[in-house]
Amino acid sequence: MNALLTDAPLLPDTGEPGFGLYVHWPFCAAKCPYCDFNSHVRHQAVDQARFTSAFLAEMETMRSLTGPRTVTSIFMGGGTPSLMEPRTVEAILDGIARFWHVPAGIEVTMEANPSSVEADRFRGYRAAGVNRVSLGVQALNDKDLRFLGRLHDVADALKAIRLAREIFPRMSFDLIYARPNQTVEDWERELNEAVSYAVDHLSLYQLTIEEGTAFFGLHKAGKLIVPDGDQSALLYEATQEITAGFGMPAYEVSNHARPGAESRHNLTYWRYGDYAGIGPGAHGRISRDGHKIATSTERNPEQWLALVEAQGHGMVDQDLLGRSEQADELLLMGLRLREGVDLSRYHALSDRYPDPDREKVLLEHGFIEPLGNSRLRCTPKGMLILDAVVADLSV
């Protein structure tokens, strides 16, 4: 695969769940203190050729599970995929095109950190077929970048944003807010600046304290205090107001885009489509023979590599999901979206609808609202307590 396929105009969003390919590059230059993703620091050079061969071998096994499919999006995440050489990215994309049908004009996204951005490397990724980049900026002041353990400063971030805008047709970047001592006024200034740099998409996440991270220990010891629920709600509301005012409203609880610029790959997850997960610690959902298979692979990169070289894949779990489990996942994912969830699809999977009494209470309190004849979505108020709404409806 190459840029000839991805130079084509982006295919229209049909509203269908689609079929995505996720490729996980597990290596980072440093482990961020908030990060609970499957990322690993290696002080020796990674044998990229050997890992490329393993990615291709696992793709072949996944192709035997999925059967012939048309790919609607590709996402290379991590870790830090921008630590890959362009020839590694090209080989991975060529492999995907060899095992599945890849139409011209699909979205091909790659995550990148500003500290690993070089113009020649970016142009190499573009030539390989990447047409959308997602930058892990995380903050627009140097003090908070140091607090978050980032290796770049604001100057690096702005350079990466400028390069991305120049080289790729589509670009997004991430910010983390609800940081310690962050006021609404602080965040409003930072977000207004961020929106002025954005092309068409922003991912804006509240800082969460995840078990197993460095921040978890500090928080447990009382050495790291994050905003309370009321302050977090005010920060969230300011986020919605500013992004909507710039024509980039939330289409998902943490993601904002101009109409038509939504992340096609992430929509596949939230619409509960199928996706094959390739690489260490990757997860997948694959429909086959009327069933849904949940796959996961070995998390440790070297152990995953040994498994693939021994048996052709690094999968450690292939769980057959029951219809009720699928319905619950559909509800969990779909209610994250502004477009909501299709209750007729929920009913087809589970042979039931959400409890009408619970639904009535949530409607009366303004946490959910109907959308058309068969869709249900969270209101902005409901998004603030999304987990509770999902739990209530799925009982």
Q: With a cut of 70, list the residues of the chain below it in pLDDT.
A: 1-6, 395
Q: What residues does 280 pair with on adjacent strands?
A: none
pTM above the 0.85 mark?
A: yes
Residue-level pLDDT at 1 = 64
Task: Report the pLDDT value the prediction gives residue 17, as an integer from 0 to 100.
Answer: 95
CB-based burial, 4-40: b 16+ in 10 Å, e otherwise: ebbeeebeeeeeebbbbbbbbbbbbeeebebbebbbb
For residue 129, say if its preceding peptide bond is cis, omega within 30 degrees of 0: no
3-state secondary structure of 58: helix
pLDDT digits (tens, 9 = 90+) for 198-228: 989 999 999 999 999 999 999 989 998 999 9
Percentages helix, strand, coil for the chain (3-state, rounded to 5) are 45, 20, 35
Report the alpha-carbon distance of residue 33 to residue 179 in Å, rounded. 13
Please tell me the predicted confidence (pLDDT) of residue 59: 98
Report the pLDDT value the prediction gives residue 72, as an integer from 0 to 100: 97
Q: Residue 342's pLDDT is what?
A: 94
- Can you give the pLDDT at residue 320? 95
